[in-house]
Chains A and B, each alone.
Chain A
Amino acid sequence: MAIQARATRMELLHLRKRAALARRGHKLLKDKLDELMRQFKILLSEYLGARQSLEAKLETAYREFIFARASMREESLSDALRYPGAVATVTTSTRRVMNLTLPVFDIAMTGSYINYGMFDTTPELDRSLEVYSEVLPEVVRLAGQEKAIGILAGEIDRTRRRVNALEYILIPELVEAVAAIRLKLDEMERGNLTRLMKVKKMTEQRREAADAVLKAAAGRPSTG
């Protein structure tokens, strides 16, 4: 919707100020968007690399686990996994990127992942748990990265919408409103000028008429 404004000089000045502010804001937001995109790309490339290596390791673990699960009775497997011997402590902190608070997760593990009897369990279970315990810190770190990417993506989206709103809606509307007011003011000025010229012309005509009357009166012989 176009900006509705009274065609006054005061309004014109006000709108010009708003347009200048919008342009400055647009530039700042555009710079912010560029920096956010740069940070996003860095984070994304780190994340994709880590994810690829994680998936390769998980594939190994799943392949071993398939054999462990098939070789063992379901009850034995549940029993072996029911009492974990390792304790994982996740610590959370934050870091600031472009005024955004991004989460950082870290994990510390204590104890042994093997906490079951060896008689009814298979070496494949050991191997898959070993890989799972190796990849757990990566999974947790990746969760932090994934969340950070989500937050950054949200902020990029919001900033882009603001930039677009300024670039394609507010600034053009302000420019249009300023132009419209200027046109209106120019037109009013021209109207005033025309009116003044007309008045002047009429005044001159009246003066000329009055002068003509006075002249005519002066040319007539005196009766006194």
Chain B
Amino acid sequence: MKSLFLFANGRVSALEKDLLPPRMWQMLLSARDVEEAGRLLADTWYGRFLQGGNFENCFEQAAQAIEQELMELSEDPALVRGILHRRDVRNARYIWKAALSGHPSPVETERPGLIPLDVLRSALTDSEPAPELPALMSRSLEEIRSLQELSPAAIDSVMDRLAAAMEMEELPGMYPGFASFLAARMDILNFGIAARCRLAGMDRTASEQLLLEGGTRKPAEIAQAASSGALPALISDTVELESLGSVLRDAIAEKSFLEYSRESERILLGMLDTGAFAVFGPAPLAAFVIKKEYEISHLRILLAAKAARLERSRLLRRLPRG
């Protein structure tokens, strides 16, 4: 029975050994400079992609290798779609925003996910939606076309909602454990957006429009809490995010979200590590892919901080490792 993901999850168990252990993170954090960190990294799974000290290239190839594993192992096309369509949404944002804002030259895009870049480009001019475009993307494109004021901010607002909807509609169908992870991630994002809007001096209506559906807390509820200064209290009352109350309070007071990002990611990584994912299903594979994405993101932060000779204490304010 293919849909049980028996082989895939056995393989995921083996692949998880390639995730950097806490001891390696300690060593990376203690590295004197970026060269030493690079030497340490060369002895890990990333070593096979590390050529000539080009970390960006290494991480890009590592991400491609993970995706390759995902596509080979996944017996459920929805999982592949859920993961890869996130990149298509980002590419759509770059291309559509540039075209509709009158940007003269072609803009940088990421590798295509499942939708070719040409399809995204021609989608703007085609009268009929392309069959490769998911329904959600077609709806968002229609929404953009119907915008009265075609500003980059308005397009971004639609694309943010599309990105959230893609993540919340395509991925969580795969068992409640994973759905609660995604809901927590959306809550964290929404609380962060509300706090950022508050610091930028936006009013309640403007910030509510930027909040995204899909979390356990409704956008209106979060916007109300933000306008009354009760965001830390509300996040303390949110399932899984209880410990973020004081962190968010400090973040708003100090206008620095390093600790908030660190603690949020620590919670999310904890949920991925200890989540009650059904063994016979796509969730462990999805969790592994997302863990690897976080790992790459944290390595980029670590190496950037080492290259800029940032002190270890400051790096530890952001990095949920070590």
Contact = CB atoms under 8 A, between A and B. Distances in A.
B130 interface: no
Contacts of A62: 308
A126 B94 contact: no
Q: What 3 pairs between A and B have smallest CB-CB spacing? A: A117-B156, A123-B257, A70-B304
Contact of B107 (A79, A85, A112): A79
A76 B160 CA distance: 12
6 contacts: A71-B261, A78-B107, A83-B97, A117-B157, A118-B193, A123-B260
Interface residues of B, number: 46
Interface stretch (B136-144, B194-202, B271-279): B194-202
A101 B175 CA distance: 73
B152 A126 contact: no
A66 B310 contact: yes
Contacts, number: 104
B108 A75 contact: yes
Interface in B236-282: 251, 255-258, 260-261
Contacts of B81: none
Contact of B94 (A75, A115, A118, A124): A75
Given A78-B107, A123-B195, A70 B94 contact: no
A78 B91 CA distance: 12
Given A67-B318, A75-B109, A82-B98, 10 more contacts: A62-B308, A67-B305, A78-B108, A85-B152, A115-B152, A118-B189, A118-B196, A119-B159, A119-B163, A120-B93
A63 interface: yes
Interface string A59-72: 00011101101110
B153 interface: yes
Interface of B: 56, 90, 93-94, 97-98, 101, 103, 107-110, 152-153, 156-157, 159-160, 163-164, 189, 192-193, 195-196, 199-200, 210, 212, 251, 255-258, 260-261, 297, 300-301, 303-305, 308, 310, 314, 318
Contacts of A66: 304-305, 308, 310
B151 to A, nearest CB: 8
Interface of A: 62-64, 66-67, 69-71, 73-76, 78-79, 82-83, 85, 112, 114-120, 122-124, 126-127, 130
Contact of A67 (B94, B107, B110, B258): B258
B257 A118 contact: no
A79 B189 CA distance: 19
B301 A71 contact: yes
Contacts of A122: 257, 261
A119 B308 CA distance: 26
Nearest to B265: A71
A127 B255 CA distance: 7
Given A66-B308, A75-B108, A82 B261 contact: no
A119 B185 CA distance: 11
Given A73-B110, A127-B255, A116 B305 contact: no
